[in-house]
């Protein structure tokens, strides 16, 4: 059984339907979900949603963030502008395992144009159950943190 997690989730207009499915899936498995919107068909900009979810992860109010967009590319870029956020756009199980196990990614980004709801649930399951491996990967995260601080490597 996967540890119960606090998950902040948001979607732009492209991801509303998939977000709703993922919220239901998470709640059914006992996770605490903070649904940050969007819930309608109106076109919305994704950067404020990314900042909202990212800030919850930064503060420790959420263990993980999930952002759902069209392809997830812009969302991944926006999330990764926040210090301490390691967002990964995952469209395969292998990418998900690497993002969590090697990169200790803390925000999962999904693209509704790239994954089916069934695959998205599988990706989320792998995301929640894959621990960070540490070891040699820890020093790489330390280097990423140094880059965020503007230090030379």
> Is 105:79 a contact under the CB 8 Å cutoff?
no
- Reading the block at residue 99, the tokens are 């993002």
CA nearest 106: which of 149, 153, 151, 144? 144
Residue with tokens 């990314």: 50
- The residues annotated as belonging to the active site are 102
User: What is the SS3 assignment for 64?
Assistant: strand
Q: How far apart are CA 2 and CA 106, in angstroms?
A: 16
């Amino acid at each position: 059984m996967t540890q119960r997690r606090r998950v902040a989730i948001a979607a732009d207009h492209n991801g509303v339907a998939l977000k709703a499915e993922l919220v239901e899936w998470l709640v059914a498995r006992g996770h605490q979900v903070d649904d940050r919107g969007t819930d309608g068909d109106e076109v919305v900009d994704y950067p404020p949603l990314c900042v909202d979810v990212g800030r919850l992860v930064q503060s420790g109010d959420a263990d993980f963030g999930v952002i759902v967009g069209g392809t997830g590319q812009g969302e991944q870029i926006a999330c990764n502008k926040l210090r301490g956020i390691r967002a990964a756009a995952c469209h395969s199980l292998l990418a998900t395992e690497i993002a969590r196990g090697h990169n200790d990614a803390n925000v999962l980004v999904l693209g509704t144009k790239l994954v089916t709801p069934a695959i998205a649930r599988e990706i989320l399951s792998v995301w929640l159950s894959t621990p960070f491996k540490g070891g040699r990967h820890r020093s790489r995260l330390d280097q990423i943190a140094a880059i965020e601080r503007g230090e030379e490597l």
